[in-house]
Every structure is written in C-alpha cells, then in structure tokens.
Amino acid sequence: MATPYLFLLSKSPPPPKTFLLPHQKSIPTNKILQLNSPKTSSIITCSSSSKNEGTPPPPQPPVACPVPFDQQPINEYQNLASSFPYSWASTSDLVEYYSRFFVSGACFVIFIGLPVSWFGVVNPELQPLKCVFSALSSGLCVATIAVLHIYLAWAYVGNRLLSATVEYEETGWYDGQIWVKTAEVLARDRLLGSFSVKPVLNRLKFTLVGLAASLVISVLLLVNVGSSYNPYLPSEEDGGRSVAGVYNDESARSFEPDAFCEEPGSP
C-alpha cells in the first residue's frame, strides 16, 4: 500500500496551463518557469522603485501673502482704475480722455474764473481781454493741478507694482513691514505695471507738458494786455490827472470849492 503513495510524492506537479489565441504559438515551459522565478520578480521590484525615485516631488503650497488686502499693489491698481477722477487716465479712447479734461477746465473758466475776473477788475468793459485771459489762466492752472494729482497717484501705484518688495502697515504707521514678493507675484505685478500703468503715465506726461505750455502762453498774454492799459487818464485841464470812473474835477469842485479858488474858471 505504500508504493502508490511514494509514487505520488515523487511525481512533480504538472505545469500550469496557458490559454493561447489561435494565432499565437505555444510558449516553452522553461520560459514560463523563468518568469515565475523569484530572481525576475526582484528585478522588477527594483525597476519599479527606481521609477518612483525619478518622479518629481509634489508641488508645495503657495506662501500666504501677509500684506493686507487693501494694501496689495494689484488691489490698489484696481481701486485706482475704478475711482473718480483717476479712471479718466485709464481710458483707451483718446477723444474721451481729452474731452473730459477740456470740459472740466471750460466749466471752471465759465462758471468761476470769468465771473471772478469780471467783477474783480475796475472797468471790465474797457478791458475785456484782460478778463478773458485771467479766466483762461485760472482754468488752465486748475486743470494742470488736477492732472498732476492724477499723475502722482498712478506713479505711486506703478512703483509698487514694479518693485520687488512691498511696504505695508499691519495696524498703523508705527508698525511698518516689508514683504518680498514671490516669483509668481513679482512676474504678475511687473507685467501689469509695464503694459497697463506705464502707457497711462506717458499719456499724463504729454498732457502736463501741453497744459504747462498753454498756461505760460496765457500768462504772457495776460501780462501784455494788462500793461498796455493805463487806468490813469490825463484830464482836460493842464497838469491834471484823474482816474476814470473814480475821480472827476467837476465833482471835486462841488464838494471842495476852496481847493480850486486859485485856478482860473473857479467860482
């Protein structure tokens, strides 16, 4: 009874069956055993571990910006571009840009400058050009100051966008801090400053130059017109001079006859 049992123990197990498609050939048994050997499996394990070592590390989370929301340069730019009257400079239409400043200056000249100059000059009907040039100079001066104020605001925001650091205040003026921009934030801010803020500054510079030249010309004309008019007009009498509209010899004789007693023609 022991012989069949020993025969079964000495007999090796049959090789695993493989299922092949009709167009495939049979695989030799030694290759199947080689694939199932532990040596091959260890090689596969090493190759898989080497692939894991070559993969890049996961991206790190972005660094939080400590600058308050309203003091960040990009938010300052958005607030400036949408506020009045600083948004006038950011428009792309040149006709709209120049018309806004022209209408503002003209309204100041008509409603403020001209009435003040007309009632502030003696005998304005005798020197209308002086009143006109005075009002025009005041309007140009106000427009120049307004454009200069807008230019300084845009220049401040542009410098903060192009700078690699940001100065901010946490709670007040006494605890100022400086934050160094990251590479992504610096690239974004400089792109915005170069293509959005610099064209606005160049346009405002040309506007300031034009307004300054116009103001100088207007002041020169005002000085020349004012110097050509002399309010002291000679009277009909010899050696007498009177101010037009202010002094008259006949009215003076009626109030002070003793002062003209030695002159001929006095009563």
> pLDDT, tens digit, for every residue of 16-41?
555 444 544 555 544 444 444 444 44
Q: Given the structure tokens 């293509």, which residue do they identify?
A: 195
In this prediction, residue 64 carries a pLDDT of 75
- The mean per-residue pLDDT over the stretch 175-200 comes to 93
pLDDT above 70: residue 223: yes
Q: Rounded distance, CA 223 to CA 137, Å? A: 11
Q: 123 near 231, Cβ under 8 Å?
A: yes
Average pLDDT of the segment spanning 237-257 = 60
For the chain, the structural domain boundaries read 69-231
First-to-final CA distance of the chain: 181
Q: Which of 169, 191, 189, 190 is nearest to 178 (CA)?
A: 169
pLDDT digits (tens, 9 = 90+) for 113-164: 999 988 887 787 888 888 999 999 999 999 999 999 999 999 999 999 999 9
**241: region left, alpha or beta (phi > 0 left; psi from -120 to 50 alpha):** beta
Q: How far is CA 146 from CA 33, 88, 127, 140, in A?
A: 90, 11, 30, 10
**pLDDT of residue 172 exceeding 50:** yes
Instruction: Determine the pLDDT at residue 58.
Output: 63
Whole-structure pTM over 0.85, yes or no? no
